[in-house]
């Protein structure tokens, strides 16, 4: 979650309101820190990753949501 948006890899790079993804409510939350990175820079970074994290490139072992995170 960054800038009040939850970002995840699920059939491509997806966004949602925090705690409202199709995967349900989280069992646990861990604050990893804070950032001064602007929303615009985060959006630009995600746009650069968009072609790498597509539904057809998902692989359970080598290219999954953990790799995206």
If you average pLDDT over residues 22-48, what whole number do you get? 94
> What's the pLDDT band for 10 if we cut at 50, 70, 90?
confident
If you average pLDDT over residues 17-44, what whole number do you get? 94
> What's the pLDDT band for 4 if we cut at 50, 70, 90?
very high
User: For residues 34 and 49, what is the distance between their CA atoms, to the nearest angstrom?
Assistant: 22
User: For residues 59 and 14, what is the distance between their CA atoms, to the nearest angstrom?
Assistant: 17
Q: What is the helix (H) or strand (E) element at residue 65, kind and residue range?
A: helix 65-68
């Amino acid at each position: 979650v960054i800038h009040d948006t939850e970002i995840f890899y699920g059939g491509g790079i997806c966004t949602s309101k925090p705690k409202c993804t199709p995967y349900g409510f989280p069992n646990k939350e861990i604050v990893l820190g804070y950032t001064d990175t602007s929303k615009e820079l985060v959006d630009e970074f995600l746009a650069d990753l968009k072609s790498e994290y597509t539904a057809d490139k998902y692989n359970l072992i080598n290219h999954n949501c953990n790799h995206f995170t």
